[in-house]
Structure 1
Amino acid sequence: MKLVIAEKPSVAQSIAKVLGAASKKDGYLEGNGYYVSWCVGHLVGLAPTERYNENYKKWDLKDLPIIPKNFEYEVSKDKEKQLKVLCKLLNSNDVEAVINACDAGREGELIFRLVYRFAKCQKPMQRLWISSMEDTAIKQGFEKLKDGKEYDLLYESADCRQKADWIVGINATRLFSLLYNQQLNVGRVMSPTLSMIVERNANINAFQPTPFYTVVLENKAVTFISEKIEDKAKAEELLSICKNKHLVISNVESKEKTEKQPKLYDLTTLQREVNRKLGFTANQTLEYIQSLYEKKLCTYPRTDSRFLTEDMADILPELSLYSLAALPFPKDKEVNAPCNARLVIDSGKVSDHHAIIPTKSLKNYDIEQLPYGEKAVLTLIALRLLSSLGDNHIYSETIATAMCEDNTFTTKGKSIIQNGFKEYEKLLNLSENKEEPALPLMAEGEVLENFTAQMKEGKTSAPKQFTEDTLLSAMENTGKEENIEKEFCGIGTPATRSGIIEKLISINLLERKGDKKTKYLVPTDKGNALITILPESICSPITTAEWEEKLKAIELGELSADEFLDGISKMTASLVKTYDVVKGSQQIFPSDRAIVGKCPRCSNDVTENKKGFCCNNKSCGFALWKENRFFTAKKKKLTEKIAKDLLQTGKSKLTGCYSEKTGKTYNATVCLDDTGDKYVNFVLEFDKEK
């Protein structure tokens, strides 16, 4: 028997169908010489800090840096059952070989390998590497299974990424949270991404618009505009000169221009365009396209290539026809299926996966039955295939120059010669660009009259806030100029960038603002403050892009995993050792909680939260818990007044305390009896006369 392990149950079912493994068992399918089982995302992950030392459960500066010599792993409690199924199958005597059918990428490799290693499996390992979930693609993939060892370096790269994120995240988050007395999440990729947004926001706030003026001469046929003028008085003077005057054409120049077809989509380009045109978030787009992939309607989504391989040329005519038939073009328009295959074929620019395209399953498929989001994304994918295979867009651009009393004015227009690939977007009303009108025929020396003259005021524009479209572009291109001679990686990967954005929003460092369609990504006050106190080594986008480049080098066998992790560890240790708290941190991170007193252990502020009254210094650990057994047994609540009394004088009077022994009530004074242990103790004092 051979054991096939997929990343998700739905993928495992598609594979089992092709292999003929139809018998359902508990956690797997069986048949025709195969067991087909699945993970549920990451079943095995890096263990928390307390696995290495129980004391690490409590955050303490003296424990930093926490850098394990040998990393340990743990199983998610809600996934233990499926892991036991996989371990049993992996070590079953009748399983002779294991086939890794997890997603064909870095994270898919990591998910499988951690399960394989956890089960201490030594059996031969093969790799299924496919870009489509269609039955024919699965069948062909099993006919061309690869030796699992060919992907050892890919696993090392994934393993290093995970460990580097753990080292930086654990240490930096604890360091800055303890130093600034509040939860501050810091991450290897997350913080540089936030830094770019904070910097852009600061540039916008600091921007001072500069006014400028133009003089516009307009008649029924054409509009001429002057150059921008910064001096308002000069613009008014020009306006006065040109009123009730004629224009003389001094030059007319027409050029034929060609706009080439757009490239096919990779994941980032698709996410950007969907965000711009439809307003979906990057994460929503990834979810939609993942669902389309599992429904066999498009190819593998997590790709960074925008080309296809040579062996795919023969299927493009079919895919072009199927895409044309699936899209809602007007029935009264004759639309042809394009197929300039040479435009999209380049095996040298395809590494792990080719560009995202529709599959043959689109044939006779009614995309109207899909959920709105999936239908909209699939429409763009099919449309992009047609556009990429289409003809050039050719137009004539005309620039005319005219003189009015020795002052120069210009106008511009264009006329379409061949719509080419843009015809598809036009017919579906998905074109983003407004077409410039054609100019009337004009000749040098011609005199134009009957113009109205007016002065228009404008202002220079501030940089725009990031949308997910422009942020994804910035993440993808960070460090590009510094990596001209090397393979370029940017910040994060196509598969992880959307998750980074969502994480920043979920931990209140970033928020979405804007209307329903166009949302801008803006840092919160906490996000701004965090970047203010983070050093360059943690929040530099360039440094993070260089780390991504090194992870790619590990995958290519050009850098050892130990060397990379050693560099990350040394940087983290240096950060812990050398970082100094920024002065005025109380103003940078003002607490929104009411202060009830000073901590008797460390003199920091004690503030109220839902569970109690806690010292803001996390390394201190002092807390008066509201559900303390000492008070609840007496049917009393630890109120804000009692907490203030205890912090100020060490005592507070209680009335109507319930006695568990007698069932009666009594009055007493509660006193702090704090010995510095994990929990604060209390004792009662009674009136001596009583």
Structure 2
Amino acid sequence: MKLVIAEKPSVAQSIAAVIGATDRKDGYMEGKDFLVSWCVGHLVELASADSYDEKYAKWQYEDLPILPPDWKYVISKGKEKQMKIIGELMKRTEVTQLVAATDAGREGELIFRLVYEKLSCKKPVKRLWISSMEESAIAEGFRNLRNGSDYELLYQSALCRAKADWIVGINATRLFSVLYGQTLNVGRVMSPTLAMMVEREENISAFRTTPFYTVQLDLGGFMVSGEKLQDKKEAEILCNDCDGQNVTIETVEQKEKSEKPPKLYDLTTLQREANRQLGFTAEQTLEYVQNLYEKKLVTYPRTDSRYLTEDMKDTVPAVVETAAGFFSLQNPSVNMKQVIDNSKVSDHHAIIPTMSVKNCDIQSLPYGEQEILRIIALRLVCAVGESCRYAETVITAKCNSSVFSAKGKSILDDGWKSVEKLYLADKKEQTQEEKDAALPHACQGEVFSAKATIKEGKTSPPKHFTDDTLLSAMENANNAMEDAERKGIGTPATRAGILEKLIKTGLAERKGEKKTKYFIPTPKGISLITVLPEAIKSVQLTAEWEEQLKQIERGTLSPKTFLESISYMTKDLVSTYEVIKEANTLFPSKIQSIGQCPRCKGSVIENKKGFCCENRNCGFALWKESKFFTAKKKALTKAIATELLKKGKAILTGCYSEKTGKTYDAVIILDDTGGQYVNFKMEFPAKKGGKK
């Protein structure tokens, strides 16, 4: 009997239906010599720092760096039941083989392998590797199961990524939070991304707009323009000299040009297009396309390829024809050569619709899924279409001794843009070609009378990042040219989460109206980048780390070497970093501190329920409704809390005794062991002539 483990319950159900495991049980399905169970995302994760030593529950500079010699793993909170079910299924004597059916990618491999390792399973593993949830794809995948050992390097790469994020995140977050007295989230990919935002804002702030002036001559049927001039008086003189004068056409050049069809979508280009056209965030797009994948309407979304494989050339034309039906396009052109390239497909091919869209009532889908499915279908039809051919006309003219020019464009054959027109017409929008004006017929030597005007303009600053442009910057961190190797930070699957974490941790905001929203770093985010050293915020260094993870996957770099370099960098950071002077101006506390946190040395502030460390990840708190005080009919006041933090003890008079009903005085001692709750001890002041 085979035990199949999927990543989600919905995926498990689709797989079970194909292989005949239709008998539903608690946490799994059974049938036809198969058991099918599922994870719920990550069932196993790297253990927290305090699992290595209880002292790490407190955030203290003296304990850094924290570098586990032997890594520990724990069952994710709230997922113990499903983990137990899988463990019991693995132990069954009739189960002789496991099938890893988690998502076919780096993270999916990690999800399965951590469960397998945590449960100390030794049974042989096969791997289901598919790019579509269609029944035919699942069935084909089970007929061609691969050896689990073939994906050992993929697993090692995923594990190194998780460990590197743990090392940098735990140590750098604690280091800067402790040194600057408030929670400062630092991440291996998150911080360089924030650094790009801050640099962009600095460039915008430093930009100084300069005006320019262009003299334009209206020749009746079209306009010619001179060069941009910085001097307004010079433009006014030229305008006066040309107004009402004869203008002679010097040259008329017409060239036929073509625009190739766009490439298919990988996840990042889909997220960028959805943000540009529809205003969806990267996270929203990932959610919509993942849902479409699980509904068997599109292929696997977490891909970095924009091409298809040779074995798809006979099946995709039927998908193209179905996709074209979305736009009422009959007999679409299909040129498969331009979308097929085996050398540019690694784990998964580009995202395209599946044949299941043929029976899909698109109107029944949620709005976001409808729109994403439409643009995926549109891109497939465009990508296999013919080039768009157009004529570009350039006219130069002379008035007195000054040269003016005009450029026009007229479509000769829409090619792939014909379907784009249909899509935009449905949205009541125009294509760029429809906006571009064609020039009227003009001959060399022809003379016109000019009406001159001055058009004023000004230079524009760089634009704030959107999801679209920030994803592009993350993908191409080394600024490679189109055909060069791109070295990015993060992966297609993780970038959306990184952007959302920047917002969640208060380091950045999304601002704007309607579809276009911009990323703006908060004052806290700007201050954090100000104090971070280059090693932590360097986009280039992080891109190199991502490249090294790919090398681990290819077997050209050892995991040990990679993690040693991360550990060395972390040790160096802790030992050499010096606090920036006047840091209190960078990280001002909005609430008055009543004392220093005994755990992480941050500030303790008052709120409705108690006196808590401002560093939320620390966990230190003195609760006003603590039973230790309420049982004695005393209140934990601000004055007592301040004294406890300052001296470690405080005098408490008039304490009520539940045993005797009398009152007494005591010295309360702060006895914090770093657990969930702070403990207290009591000492009794000595009576006159007596002992304590």
Query: Counterparts of 1:648 and 1:557 in 2: how far apart (Å)?
Result: 55
Q: Cα distance 1:160–1:619, how it changes in 2: closer, same or farther (>3 A)?
A: closer
Query: Counterparts of 2:339 and 2:352 in 1: how far apart (Å)?
Result: 11
Q: Secondary structure at the match of 2:444?
A: coil
What corresponds to 2:454 in structure 1?
455
Query: Counterparts of 1:679 and 1:90 in 2: how far apart (Å)?
Result: 43
Q: Secondary structure at the match of 1:110?
A: helix
Query: Counterparts of 1:31 and 1:573 in 2: how far apart (Å)?
Result: 53
Counterpart pick for 1:504 among 488, 502, 505: 502
Q: What CA deviation, in whole Å up to 9, does each residue of 1:644-670 have, x standing for no partner?
A: 788899999999987756779x8x999
Letter in 1 for 2:456: E
Q: What CA deviation, in whole Å up to 9, does each residue of 1:456-515 have, x standing for no partner?
A: 221111000000000111000002549998x54410110000010011111111110001
Counterpart pick for 2:363 among 365, 368, 378: 368
Conserved? CA contact 1:529–1:589, under 8 Å:
yes
Superposed displacement of residue 615, structure 1 = 6.6
Q: Secondary structure at the match of 1:314?
A: coil
Q: Confirm whether residue 594 of structure 1 aligns to residue 592 of structure 2.
A: yes
Query: Counterparts of 1:27 and 1:424 in 2: how far apart (Å)?
Result: 46
Superposed displacement of residue 338, structure 1 = 1.9
Query: Counterparts of 2:180 and 2:48 in 1: how far apart (Å)?
Result: 23
What corresponds to 1:535 in structure 2?
533
Q: How does 1:517-532 map to 2 (within 5 A)?
A: 517-532=515-530
Counterpart pick for 1:412 among 397, 401, 407: 407
Query: Counterparts of 1:217 and 1:631 in 2: how far apart (Å)?
Result: 86
Q: Secondary structure at the match of 2:454?
A: strand
Unaligned runs of 5+ in 2: none
Under a length normalisation based on structure 1, what TM-score does the superposition of the two structures give? 0.92
Superposed displacement of residue 404, structure 1 = 1.5
Q: What CA deviation, in whole Å up to 9, does each residue of 1:333-352 have, x standing for no partner?
A: x6432211111111111110
Q: What CA deviation, in whole Å up to 9, does each residue of 1:227-281 have, x standing for no partner?
A: 1101111111112212222321111111111000000000000000000000001
Q: What CA deviation, in whole Å up to 9, does each residue of 1:384-425 have, x standing for no partner?
A: 010001111010011111112211111111100001111111
What corresponds to 1:423 in structure 2?
418
Query: Counterparts of 1:602 and 1:499 in 2: how far apart (Å)?
Result: 28
Query: Counterparts of 2:33 and 2:642 in 1: how far apart (Å)?
Result: 72
What corresponds to 2:566 in structure 1?
568
Query: Counterparts of 1:676 and 1:519 in 2: how far apart (Å)?
Result: 46
Under a length normalisation based on structure 2, what TM-score does the superposition of the two structures give? 0.92
Q: Could you tell me the percent identity over the aligned residues?
A: 58
Query: Counterparts of 1:580 and 1:143 in 2: how far apart (Å)?
Result: 60
Q: Secondary structure at the match of 1:78?
A: coil
Q: Cα distance 1:75–1:583, how it changes in 2: closer, same or farther (>3 A)?
A: same
Unaligned runs of 5+ in 1: none
Query: Counterparts of 2:362 and 2:523 in 1: how far apart (Å)?
Result: 44
What corresponds to 1:37 in structure 2?
37
Q: Cα distance 1:432–1:568, how it changes in 2: closer, same or farther (>3 A)?
A: farther
Q: How does 1:190-589 map to 2 (within 5 A)?
A: 190-325=190-325, 327-329=326-328, 335-429=330-424, 433=432, 435-449=435-449, 451-481=450-480, 488-589=486-587
Conserved? CA contact 1:669–1:686, under 8 Å:
no
User: Which stretch shifts more, 644-653 or 95-104?
Assistant: 644-653
Query: Counterparts of 1:684 and 1:201 in 2: how far apart (Å)?
Result: 60
Query: Counterparts of 2:218 and 2:665 in 1: how far apart (Å)?
Result: 89
What corresponds to 1:137 in structure 2?
137
Conserved? CA contact 2:181–2:603, under 8 Å:
no
Q: Cα distance 1:599–1:145, how it changes in 2: closer, same or farther (>3 A)?
A: closer
Q: Secondary structure at the match of 2:262?
A: coil
Superposed displacement of residue 636, structure 1 = 4.9
Q: Secondary structure at the match of 2:79?
A: helix
Query: Counterparts of 2:105 and 2:636 in 1: how far apart (Å)?
Result: 54
Superposed displacement of residue 19, structure 1 = 0.5
Q: Secondary structure at the match of 1:258?
A: strand
Query: Counterparts of 2:327 and 2:419 in 1: how far apart (Å)?
Result: 10
Letter in 2 for 1:418: D
Q: Secondary structure at the match of 2:276?
A: helix
Q: Cα distance 1:645–1:360, how it changes in 2: closer, same or farther (>3 A)?
A: closer
Q: Secondary structure at the match of 1:170?
A: helix
Query: Counterparts of 1:594 and 1:19 in 2: how far apart (Å)?
Result: 63
Query: Counterparts of 1:292 and 1:475 in 2: how far apart (Å)?
Result: 25
Letter in 2 for 1:613: F
Q: What CA deviation, in whole Å up to 9, does each residue of 1:574-628 have, x standing for no partner?
A: 1111110011100010111124468899998653244433576999998654234
Superposed displacement of residue 679, structure 1 = 5.0
Q: What CA deviation, in whole Å up to 9, does each residue of 1:504-554 have, x standing for no partner?
A: 111111110001200101101111111000001111010000000000000
Conserved? CA contact 1:479–1:542, under 8 Å:
yes
Conserved? CA contact 2:60–2:601, under 8 Å:
no
Q: Secondary structure at the match of 1:363?
A: helix
Q: Cα distance 1:232–1:2, how it changes in 2: closer, same or farther (>3 A)?
A: same
Query: Counterparts of 1:599 and 1:130 in 2: how far apart (Å)?
Result: 52
Query: Counterparts of 1:360 and 1:601 in 2: how far apart (Å)?
Result: 59
Letter in 1 for 2:305: S
Letter in 2 for 1:580: E
Conserved? CA contact 1:526–1:589, under 8 Å:
yes
